[in-house]
């Protein structure tokens, strides 16, 4: 059986006129995914997090995320197929003459404009497979003072919405394996947007990230949220007791509460009620 990464590479093979087959393949990939039983989201303590807890929804943000290459077509300098190849100039060539340098500027401008258009089409919410990830507590939960929310993902419900996709991130330093170069002329192409949204450089592999990707429509513009069931909330080792008390009063009693403890073996989760 092929891995998820290998199956996603196959989407690159579809030409523009075969785009419906590509979507069929993508739907097949999504339906066969093994989603973790528990999925998590690290959050700082602010009014936006409180709003998400009260309303049991997750905000879908524009893709202005921490990785500067996130949700972008990235060339490693070896594109040799499709329409991008017409403008592509290697780094070595552009250093030899002004014409090549101008062509390279045209190439990078094309990519930049395409990236901007692709990013305008989507909103994203980020999740992870682990609630004991020390760097993520540090970066995304304000140095262990925030919370980590555990959600249930109803894949069948999400898949039935043709504008929403839930996929794991692929960590790679060779983006060219995945980009369908013959499709880049269409900035509204969902396949290209999805592929851009699930690729990240290998440096981020520690995040074990999954992404909920939603394509903008009139409804999403007015209400950029998706409803998800909260199973549990875990407080960081530095979360103030006063904040714990406030959150306890906001949530349903069925939601389990935990707190992280710093142990010699690492972070450990302890139930509060």
Considering the entire predicted model, what is its pTM? 0.85
> What pLDDT does 86 receive?
47
- What is the mean pLDDT of the segment spanning 154-169? 75
More confident residue, 74 or 94: 74
pLDDT at 94: 52
Does the pLDDT of residue 190 top 90, yes or no? no
Averaged pLDDT score across all residues of the chain = 82
Band of pLDDT at residue 93, cut at 50, 70 and 90: low
User: In 3D, which of 141, 131, 115, 96 has the Cα closest to residue 238?
Assistant: 141
Which tens digits make up the pLDDT trace of 247-259?
Answer: 998 888 889 999 9
The better pLDDT of the pair 43, 161 is held by 43
Is the pLDDT reported for residue 16 higher than 90?
Answer: no
Distance CA 181, CA 149 (A): 38
Asked if 200 contacts 234 with a C-beta cutoff of 8 angstroms, the reply is no
How much of the chain exceeds pLDDT 90, in percent?
Answer: 38
Q: What is the pLDDT of residue 91?
A: 52
Whether pLDDT at 37 is above 90: no
């Amino acid at each position: 059986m092929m891995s998820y990464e290998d199956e996603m590479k196959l989407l690159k093979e579809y030409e523009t006129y075969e785009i419906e087959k590509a979507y069929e393949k993508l739907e097949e990939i999504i339906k066969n995914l093994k989603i973790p039983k528990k999925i998590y989201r690290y959050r700082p303590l602010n009014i936006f997090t409180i709003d998400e807890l009260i309303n049991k929804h997750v905000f879908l943000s524009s893709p202005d995320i921490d990785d500067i290459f996130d949700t972008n077509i990235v060339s490693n300098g070896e594109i040799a197929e499709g329409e991008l190849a017409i403008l592509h100039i290697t780094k070595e060539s552009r250093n030899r003459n002004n014409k090549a340098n101008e062509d390279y500027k045209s190439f990078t401008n094309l990519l930049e404009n395409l990236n901007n258009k692709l990013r305008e089409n989507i909103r994203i919410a980020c999740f992870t497979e682990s609630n004991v990830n020390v760097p993520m507590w540090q970066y995304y939960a304000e140095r262990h003072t925030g919370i980590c929310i555990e959600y249930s993902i109803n894949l069948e419900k999400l898949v039935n919405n043709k504008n929403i996709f839930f996929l794991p991130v692929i960590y790679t330093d060779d983006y060219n394996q995945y980009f369908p170069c013959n499709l880049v002329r269409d900035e509204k192409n969902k396949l290209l947007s999805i592929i851009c949204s699930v690729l990240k450089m290998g440096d981020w592999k520690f995040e074990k990230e999954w992404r909920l990707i939603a394509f903008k429509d009139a409804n999403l513009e007015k209400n950029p949220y998706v409803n998800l069931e909260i199973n549990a909330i875990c407080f960081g080792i530095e979360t103030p007791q006063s904040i714990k008390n406030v959150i306890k009063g906001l949530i349903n009693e069925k939601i389990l509460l935990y707190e992280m403890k710093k142990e010699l073996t690492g972070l450990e989760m302890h139930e509060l009620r």
